[in-house]
Structure 1
């Protein structure tokens, strides 16, 4: 697989959806392995990724901002969003920078997510309360935030 083929593959992938640099690197590496009988040229992949970045087709900051807004819309909390971003290969410094730019009241978001799933009234019994707290923790909200929500 030569540089031109790899570049075309990168454009094809980016035309379908936005990718981060690390995720696209992994995809290109897999593609090169399949097409070159197991031979992977990582410097060539880096060169193509740099070319895509220079042409503004590949921009980690834009991808992080878009993904973060999507996760917030889906009702995820800050812990879950950071975990998802880490799994996608984004730098922690970039993610923290974007978190500083986001204006979200996480406590209100947690209350909204809880009420959407379980209704407006707060649970009275321990079993139901712990079920709702586990749900909010799974969604990525801080534990102290969850307990504060239920102690009102």
Structure 2
């Protein structure tokens, strides 16, 4: 039995469009989801390539919306970069280009998150300081950004 009689490429396109209608998808994510629905990998690759060429799927558009969402959640550059490249399959260059075009003040974002979580007061002791630093590291901020907004406890 050949591929065309067993699988309908039109149905595959419809399935891909339904996924894209819900939200933007990266190429990697879209292919993974379609293959999980038991579509043949070679057919999925061909259809996703066509959708990308036609402008229905765009890693740049996806990355922009993904980054805006994560910045809104006050996540740092390192965490966003790792998620976008490792989980979503977006190239580092694309992510860096989007960061640059958005002109995000990572120091200010870090300071806002620190203030929201811990308030305006400096950490009372070394333990509190370590807790604040760890929290901001887990959120994906660089040491330079963290140390700019978390003051050492007074001795």
Relative to the length of structure 1, the TM-score reads 0.89
Q: Is the 8 A contact 2:63 2:95 kept in 1?
A: yes
Residues in 1 aligned to 2:51 and 2:97: alpha-carbon distance in whole angstroms: 23
Q: What is aligned with 2:60?
A: 61
Runs of 4+ in structure 1 deviating by more than 4 angstroms, as ranges, are none
C-alpha deviation, 1:93, in angstroms: 1.6
Q: Is the 8 A contact 2:63 2:98 kept in 1?
A: yes
Q: What is aligned with 2:49?
A: 50
Relative to the length of structure 2, the TM-score reads 0.87
Q: What is aligned with 1:148?
A: 148
Q: Select between 50-59 and 15-24 the one with higher mean Cα deviation.
A: 50-59
Name structure 2 gaps, 5 residues minimum: 1-6
C-alpha deviation, 1:81, in angstroms: 0.5
Q: CA RMSD in A?
A: 1.4
Name structure 1 gaps, 5 residues minimum: 34-40
C-alpha deviation, 1:98, in angstroms: 1.3
Deviations 1:70-109 (A, max 9, x none): 1111100100110110111111121122122121111111
Q: Is the 8 A contact 2:24 2:62 kept in 1?
A: yes
